[in-house]
Structure 1
Amino acid sequence: MTTERLEPAPTADERTMLEGWLDYHRLTLAWKCEGLTDAELRTASVEPSELTLMGLVRHMAEVERSWFRRVLAAEDAGPIYFTEEDRDGDFHLSETDTWEEAYATWQAEIESARGNAARFGLDDISEGKHLRTGQRFNLRWIYTHMIEEYARHNGHADMIRERIDGAIGD
């Protein structure tokens, strides 16, 4: 299977553009993980880092959940992988962690995000607040932040994938 990524039309309206770029970056992360074994997806970038492709996918599931469920929709959605004792639990993998579970969880959070976002206009203010700052955000800010978050981590994914099997590409 080859993940097909399409950039949004250069003349799209603002919402279509934001959603298009967010989906493009979501698909980029999936593409960087494509065709690898669970062991390869648990391969760290370089010692002493624990950064892995599977860890990035788990992290983005947490990020999707945080912004679109907790902040935007004020859902009482607890963490998936991290705990108070292990704030980076999304990156801490064991041999029993699987791509199948990580991918399914990430996709479920993306679908939830899309459903919640569909209820809001770009200027609408979130129903919930950011856990640390107590701020509320409009949907435009959340979309822009999510694009930035994926773009940054897709840069990490590029380097990790190249280390694993030499595959390169944007």
Structure 2
Amino acid sequence: MGTGSISKVKWLPGHLLVVVAVLVCLRLGWWQWDRTREAEGTLQNFAYAILWPAFGASFIYMWWRFLSLEASREAEDDRELDEDLALMSEQEAADRADRAELLALQASAAPDAAPQLTNAHESDVTEPTDDADREDWFVGTVEEADEDSDPELAAYNRALAALAEEDRRRAG
């Protein structure tokens, strides 16, 4: 159990409650001990004089156990988070490598059709100003999807094509 978990501000009310409970138990034990020493004191008073401090000790043990379990749970959560972050970074690196490999394959297969990757700023891109230029302005491509390999992608592409056609009809 780390010391950071015990000193958290959110545990302050719990610490205070345990201290008060232990002090009350000790005071009740002291009172029972005084009752045992009086003339009408009994064995029952003596038993309670021992039992009340035991209750106080159990409060301390329960609070310590609670903090230990909470600290181990937090450590487990931190470990899982670190593992997830490491896995995500490995996947991102693999994705980047796959993309680079795919671009290299595309460039070697058709060098004239290879995409040009540049660091263009938004200010470098100019949008056509009149409708004639706008019709010829090329925004991007949608590759034909093989419906046998990915029917969901093919349906999505058909829906996008229908929306684009509807926009073209509205515009002109």
> Which structure: larger Rg?
2
- TM-score of the alignment, normalized to the shorter chain, above 0.5: no
TM-score calculated relative to the size of structure 2: 0.29
